[in-house]
Amino acid sequence: MATYYIVENNQQAGPFTFEQLAARGITPETNVWTEGMTNWTPASQVSELQTLFAKPAPQPAPQPAPQPAPQPEPQASADWSSESSYSSESREFRPPLKDWKTESIILTVLSVVCCCCQVLPIAGLPFGILGIVNGNKVKSLEATDYAAAKEASDAAGKWVKIGAIVFAAVTVFSIILSIILRLTGVMDELTRSMM
């Protein structure tokens, strides 16, 4: 089930389900964001939320209620959540950045395991470590310096991708070399000489 973040009083709130959004009484102009969206968008432009704005049957005009005194706007905090960032200079909401930590850890573990199995793919290890180091910077910088966080995210992604390619290439090379040595009998001679 999709969940949505919304902007209320210049602050991010959420995530909310469709039913929770209906209960909150969001307007067509309320900015929303959900996974898969690149930017914040008015709720009226999100097809899944269109039914929230269907016009009900006319009701008798209610008696005007006394208006409460306006409340001062709360100060925007520097760190709303770990899910997205807000730039006060440009008033632009930005989607969360990928930190690549899971992929970096998998690459590092695979490199170490394959090395322990007498296979060469330890070549992926330094790239996995570089991915972890850059990935750790992403969430800590995202709320305060979005540009630096994006740079760290891009660097982590680059190192993970390079490491995966190197790991795959060295693994294929190791397998081919092992097959060639077996076929030529060199591996058997090495095994016999070691005994």
Find the CATH number of the domain harbouring 32. 3.30.1490
Do 123 and 187 lie in a common domain? Answer: yes
Q: What pTM does this model have?
A: 0.46
Low-confidence residues in the chain, pLDDT < 70: 1, 53-61, 72-93, 115-121, 186-188, 190-191, 195
Q: How big, in percent rounded to 5, are the helix, strand and coil portions of the chain?
A: 55, 10, 35
Same domain assignment for residues 116 and 89: no
Boundaries of domain holding 140: 101-194
Residues 27 and 89 in one domain: yes
- Residue 121 belongs to a domain: yes
Is 79 contained in some domain? no
- Domain tally, the chain: 2
Say if residue 45 is in the same domain as residue 108.
no
Contact between residue 4 and residue 16 where contact means Cβ atoms under 8 Å apart: yes
So what's the pLDDT on residue 88? 47
Q: Specify whether 89 is located in the same domain as 138.
A: no
In a domain, 61, yes or no: no
Based on the domain organization, do 118 and 35 belong to the same domain?
no
- Say yes or no: 91 and 105 in one domain: no
**41, 107: one domain:** no
